[in-house]
């Protein structure tokens, strides 16, 4: 158990819809990362937050947005969903600057868009 | 190049050694990591190496780092069927960003 919790584990929805994925980081970790893993594109970095502020942005579509709340949990919002958005979405947390800087991953939220 | 690169597939026989290679991008990277992803699960840290080291050994795992060529490798000795998984190389760059390779799918045949 990494200590990172993601909900929901599975989600099936239709094209054009909007979903919210939630992540609770490890206790004490200030940094949250979101990644998308699809079969043909490996692990794609979407966005990183640190203590409520956006720190880095990767290949995140304009239809997607995220935020980190004062209690440090984070949400990834995906809107106007397309078939190609079907993927496994991972959240990871890190203590940043302390220790080895490794990321601790949740088990992922599997999104299927029909 | 801009991406962390790994070969996508590796197949070995049980008991053989596996070597997974990675080329990373940032010569200033502080830490380099190997993560393992088993089917249906998230990524878990397998091992890491600090950039001032050339080699790190941890039981059946040996990590080699060639900073000149920006090349990282993971050797698994006496590979077992339980080692079948996807292995990701990752680097912590000088901007503190974390970049992952596409992952190498290791298949271990009995």
Q: What is the pLDDT of residues A64-87, one digit of tens each?
A: 999 999 999 999 999 999 999 999
Residue B11, CA atoms < 13 Å, CB-side half-sphere = 2
Range with the poorest average pLDDT among A4-8, A34-38, A95-99, B5-9: A95-99
Please give the interface size between A and B, counted as residue pairs whose CB atoms are below 8 Å apart. 54
pLDDT at A103: 92
Mutate to test the interface with B, among A102, A104, A110 (most CBs of B within 10 A): A102
Calculate mean pLDDT across residues A75-102.
Answer: 90
Q: What is the pLDDT of residue B5?
A: 92
- Cβ pair A45:B98 closer than 8 A: yes
Mean pLDDT of A105-111: 96
Tell me the backbone φ, ψ of residue B57, rounded to 5 degrees: -120, 135
A48 at B interface, C-beta within 8 A: yes
What does each C-alpha distance from B80 to A92, B11, B14, B15 come to in angstroms?
28, 12, 5, 6
Contact A103 B45 (CB under 8 A): yes
% of chain B at pLDDT higher than 90: 74
* pLDDT tens-place string over residues B39-68: 888 899 999 999 899 999 999 999 999 999
What is the 3-class SS of chain A, one letter each residue? CCCCEEECCEEEECCCCCEEEEEECCCCCCEEEEEEEECCCEEEEEEEEECCEEEEECCCCCCEEEEECCCCCEEEEECCCCHHHCEEEEEEEECCCCCCCCCEECCCEEEEEC
Q: Chain B residue closest to A57 (CA)?
A: B97
The mean of the pLDDT values for chain A is 93
Across chain B, mean pLDDT equals 92
* Model confidence pLDDT, tens digit, residues A30-67: 999 999 998 766 788 899 999 999 998 988 999 999 99
Residue of A42, A102, A105 lying closest to B42 (CB–CB): A105
Partner residues linked to A44 by β-bridges: A36
Percentage, residues of chain B above pLDDT 70: 98
- Which phi and psi (to 5°) does residue A75 adopt? -130, 140
């Amino acid at each position: 158990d990494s200590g990172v919790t993601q909900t929901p584990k599975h989600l099936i929805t239709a094209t054009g819809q909007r979903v919210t994925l939630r992540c609770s980081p490890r206790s004490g970790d200030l940094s949250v990362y979101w990644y998308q893993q699809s079969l043909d594109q490996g692990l794609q970095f979407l966005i990183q937050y640190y203590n409520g502020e956006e720190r880095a942005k990767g290949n995140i579509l304009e239809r997607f947005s995220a935020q980190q709340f004062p209690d440090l949990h984070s949400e990834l919002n995906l809107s106007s969903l397309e078939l190609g958005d079907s993927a496994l979405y991972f959240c990871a947390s890190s203590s940043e600057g302390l220790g080895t800087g490794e990321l601790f991953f949740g088990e992922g939220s599997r999104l299927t868009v029909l | 190049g801009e991406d962390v690169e790994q070969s996508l597939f590796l197949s070995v026989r049980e008991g053989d050694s596996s070597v997974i290679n990675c080329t990373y991008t940032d010569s200033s990277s502080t830490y380099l990591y190997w993560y393992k992803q088993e089917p249906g699960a998230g990524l878990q840290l397998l091992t890491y190496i600090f950039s001032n080291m050339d080699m790190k050994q941890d039981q059946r795992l040996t990590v080699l780092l060639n900073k000149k060529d920006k090349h990282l490798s993971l050797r698994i000795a006496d590979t077992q069927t339980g080692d079948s998984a996807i292995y990701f190389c990752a680097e912590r760059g000088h901007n503190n960003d974390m970049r992952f390779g596409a992952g190498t799918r290791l298949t271990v045949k009995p």
